[in-house]
Structure 1
Amino acid sequence: MLETQIILEGKRVRLIPASYEHLNELFMASNHREIWTYSPSTISKIEHMEKVMNKWMESKEQGFRYPFVIFDKNTNEIVGSSSYLDISLHNRNLEIGGTWLNPKVWRTRINTECKYLLLKYGFEDLNLVRVQFRTDTRNDRSNLAIQKIGAKFEGSFRQEMILHDGYIRDSNVYSILDNEWVNVKEKLLGFLLN
């Protein structure tokens, strides 16, 4: 199980452990239909956010998930969320996922900096040997972003999950291994310097 207070800070973002005190701000950030196109859930009411938060906290208690809120230091507001998922410290691997951002910060450095902070902590503090990502095969923006940072495509899970609109999703799987981290880190830092 991960420690209870992991706070990761970059130039633009601060990743803070998600808690019920963030509920209203998370709902405000998440209440945009275009966020949920490729997702198993959708958030359009505060009750949806409460249900999601309950699931997060239950999974966190069980040691399977560690949810973060993404705080934009430029605007002093929560703009999204990301998580460590399917945590297996025994096998020294996990997934970075459940990531969503308010559309107003799409195509900014925020997602890149979040990935950098999460990967850096994973490989350098948790001593992981593998980090994986999964995304809808149709989600070109997400697939390209994952490939751009240097994650390797491993294949697709066919009919892996049913989305909120009933669509049966195929997911692409990518990974970064510990011996690839140095190159990925260099690439991410290069993006963040520009």
Structure 2
Amino acid sequence: MGLEAIMLAGAHVRLEPLTHGHHDGLCQAVRDGELWKLQVTLVPHPRDVGVFIDDALAAHAAGSQLAFATIDLATGRIAGSTRFMAVDLPNRRLEIGFTFLGRSWQRTAVNTEAKLLMLTHAFETLGMNRVEFLTDVRNSTSRAAITRLGATHEGVLRQHMVMRDGWIRDSALYSITSPDWPDTKNSLMARLDEHHPSAF
């Protein structure tokens, strides 16, 4: 099975395979909070979004990634982007990463449902055994968000990445495995119900 460029949709968010048609909306999302200035993550500057999309399309053609534009259904606006990456179909594992959301959508149902959609696709359609999340050990916001998903912290990859400013990053590693998935799914659905009790 290849990594098909598929759309994933829920009650609050739609994940569309990223194309150059999303360029301007993605630039607006990046400007919402000036996300490129964050030192503990990798978000493109608006002037680099075109290259960001080019790289995502090339990675999909190579079979290693699938990037999405994250669409807020309430407004129709692009809230940010996320992707499947480090995809290893023979060994049934992948990473969810390169996720960013404009400030207006952070800590909302948009991110929760996007992760629910991606994890459901990973485990129930692609048949993954393992989904990983990696983030800078300094990024307390990201680490807390990953923990809220129900992922297990497995350790720290020391001297793992060189950041744009030259900082040599240690990365915190988290995972959700197929045996974890039923409980994780129920927890995410309950969190969505708390956000929008009338939607379920």
**TM-score band, normalised by shorter chain:** over 0.9
Deviation at 1:41, TM superposition (A): 4.9
Deviation at 1:33, TM superposition (A): 2.6
For 1:139, the equivalent position in structure 2 comes to: 139
Question: What per-residue deviation string (whole Å, max 9, x for no partner) do you get for residues 139-159 of structure 1?
Answer: 111111111221111111112
Q: Please say if residues 40 and 162 of structure 1, whose CA atoms lie closer than 8 Å, have aligned partners that are also in contact.
A: no
Q: Which moved more, 1:148-157 or 1:34-43?
A: 34-43
For 1:168, the equivalent position in structure 2 comes to: 168
For 2:197, the equivalent position in structure 1 comes to: none
Deviation at 1:176, TM superposition (A): 0.6
Q: Take 1:39 and 1:153, find their aligned partners in 2: how far apart are those partners? A: 18
> Over aligned residue pairs, what C-alpha RMSD do you find?
1.3
Residue 37 (str. 1) matches residue 39 (str. 2): yes
Partner AA of 1:141 in structure 2: T
Residue 123 (str. 1) matches residue 123 (str. 2): yes
SS at match of 2:180: helix
Q: Take 1:75 and 1:166, find their aligned partners in 2: how far apart are those partners? A: 38
Aligned length: 191
Distance 1:14 1:41, change over 3 A: closer
Tell me the TM-score normalized by structure 1. Answer: 0.94
Partner AA of 1:108 in structure 2: T
Runs of 5+ consecutive residues of structure 1 not aligned to the other structure = none
Tell me the TM-score normalized by structure 2. Answer: 0.91
Identity of aligned residues (%): 36
Deviation at 1:42, TM superposition (A): 3.4
SS at match of 2:11: coil
For 1:78, the equivalent position in structure 2 comes to: 78
Partner AA of 2:52 in structure 1: V
Q: Please say if residues 156 and 170 of structure 2, whose CA atoms lie closer than 8 Å, have aligned partners that are also in contact.
A: yes
